[in-house]
Amino acid sequence: MESLEILSTAQIPKQYKSNYITHLWNLFEQLKTSSNAVGINKLMSTVLGNIDKKCLSNLPEDFCKAIINNYFDTCAKKEEICNIFKFTIQFLMYHKNQNNNLNHVFQLVSDYKSQSWDSKDNERSVVHKFFKAFFTTVFEDDRDLEFVTKFAREWEKIFIPNETFKEYVLLNLLRFKKDVKDNVELYSKHIVLFAEEVSAKYGEFVFSKLVPIIYEFCISGKKDTEVIELLTTMLKYTSLNNINCILVMELISIKGDLFYKKRIRPVYHGIDLMLKQITDSKVQLCYNLYSNNVCN
């Protein structure tokens, strides 16, 4: 097994790497029938994780599709090839014939949903892990809106928001961000209008699920000044039932440490003053509940 580990991490010149990968993969496939399958799966995962964009684009399309076909649902069978979803997303992003490849992969997703979505063995995790790989890869990659839109279109053919709510929210937030780039005004407006749309469709109770997802995408890990700018801009828009105000207060409640940072407290109090002047009873209820929590 040690010699196989060396082969799986070997540094190969770029011009030979694609051929090397195909031969090594075929070797691992053969060994799985007679050796430690779990150990071989780990090595296969290592190989997939080490494939860069250039190498992947040079791999034969049929070879890539065969890997995806054979291992897409392995995590449901406890035989997981850990990097299979990352490999799948990179294949969709960087290999030629993107539209055809999207159709191929999402046919697998559709078939998997038909067969396993309602099983008792929590096999929905395959779908959630696939989406997470997409989101992580695209979020970190400076790609334009086109691929995100294509992916979302295929996803929405298979899943309705009720089935994959978190993914539905993240897809929309990601599209907004890719569309407006660094325009905070437009980005804030998109978020408020989306929150209004979701609230109108599902009821305000859905906020308990919606707000943490928006926080995770828009607030978590951001600089305090960026957060303040985003929240302040959200309050500028008039929205149905003052959803923007309630959304801002809910996000501030999660990001509670803003109140205690002296260097930005004057800016925070500007938001506080804007909220205090809204006469809507629901806004004032939320405002006072939040203020009471901060003071206690």
The predicted structure's pLDDT at residue 91 = 97
The predicted structure's pLDDT at residue 82 = 82
Confidence (pTM): 0.87
Question: Tens digit of pLDDT per residue, the chain (296 long)?
Answer: 778 888 898 999 989 999 999 999 999 998 887 767 778 888 999 999 999 989 999 999 999 999 999 999 876 566 678 899 999 999 999 999 999 999 999 999 999 999 888 876 667 889 999 999 999 999 877 667 899 999 999 999 999 999 999 999 999 999 999 999 889 999 999 999 999 999 999 987 888 899 999 999 999 888 888 888 998 899 888 777 788 888 888 888 886 665 555 555 555 667 777 777 888 888 888 778 766 665 44
251, 214 in Cβ contact below 8 A? yes
91, 137 in Cβ contact below 8 A? no
- The span from the CA of 210 to the CA of 215, in Å, is 9
180, 187 in Cβ contact below 8 A? yes
- The span from the CA of 120 to the CA of 141, in Å, is 35
What is the SS3 string spanning the chain? CHHHHHHHHCCCCHHHHHHHHHHHHHHHHHHHCCCCHHHHHHHHHHHHHCCCHHHHHHCCHHHHHHHHHHHCCHHHHCCCCCCHHHHHHHHHHHCCCHHHHHHHHHHHHHHHHHHHCCCCCCCCHHHHHHHHHHHHHHHHCCCCHHHHHHHHHHHHHHCCCCCCHHHHHHHHHHHHHHHHCCCHHHHHHHHHHHHHHHHHHHCHHHHHHHHHHHHHHHHCCCCHHHHHHHHHHHCCCCCHHHHHHHHHHHHHHHCHHHHHCHHHHHHHHHHHHHHHCCCCHHHHHHHHHHHHHHHC
The predicted structure's pLDDT at residue 203 = 86
For helices 184-202 and 224-234, give the axis angle rounded to 10 degrees: 60
The predicted structure's pLDDT at residue 35 = 65
75-107 b/e (C-beta count within 10 Å ≥ 16 → b): bbeeebbbbbbbbbbbbbbbbeeeeebbebbbe
The predicted structure's pLDDT at residue 33 = 75
- The span from the CA of 71 to the CA of 83, in Å, is 10
Q: Tell me, what amino acid is at 48? A: L
Q: Which of 79, 68, 136, 58 is nearest to 106 (CA)?
A: 68
Q: What ranges do the domains of the chain cover? A: 201-296
Sequence-ordered list of residues with C-beta below 8 angstroms from that of 221, at least 6 positions apart, any chain: none
